[in-house]
Amino acid sequence: MTRKKSAFIGLFAVALIWGITYVLSAYLLKAFSPILLSFLRICMTGAWLAAFMNAQAIQHPSRKEWGLLIGSAIFFTLIQQPLYFIGLQLSTAANASLIYAVAPLATLILEVIFLKSKLHWSKMAGALIGFSGVLVIVIFSGQSLGLSIGDLYLIIAMLGLSISILFTPSLSKRMSPFSISLYSTLIGSILMVPMAAGERLIGVMEIHGSFFTWMLLLISGLLNVLAGLWWIRGIAEVGPGTAALFNNLPPFIAIIASYLFLGDAVYFTQLAGGVLIVAGVFISNHDLFKRVHGQSGLDIN
pLDDT digits (tens, 9 = 90+) for 138-182: 676 655 556 678 888 988 998 999 999 999 999 999 999 999 999
Parent domain of 287: 3-300
**Phi and psi torsions of 189, nearest 5°:** -60, -45
In this prediction, residue 300 has a pLDDT band, given cuts at 50, 70 and 90, of very low
The model's pTM is 0.81
DSSP designation for 32: B
Domains: count for the chain: 1
Tell me, rounded to whole angstroms, the distance of Cα 229 from its chain centroid: 12
Amino acid at 63: R
* Angstrom distances, CA of residue 189 to CA of 29, 76, 141: 19, 12, 37
Tell me, rounded to whole angstroms, the distance of Cα 220 from its chain centroid: 13
The alpha carbon torsion through 266, 268, 273, 275 (nearest 10 deg) reads 100
| Gap between the Cα atoms of 232 and 63, Å rounded | 20
Q: How many CB atoms are located within 10 Å of the residue 193 CB?
A: 11
Average pLDDT taken over every residue of the chain: 83
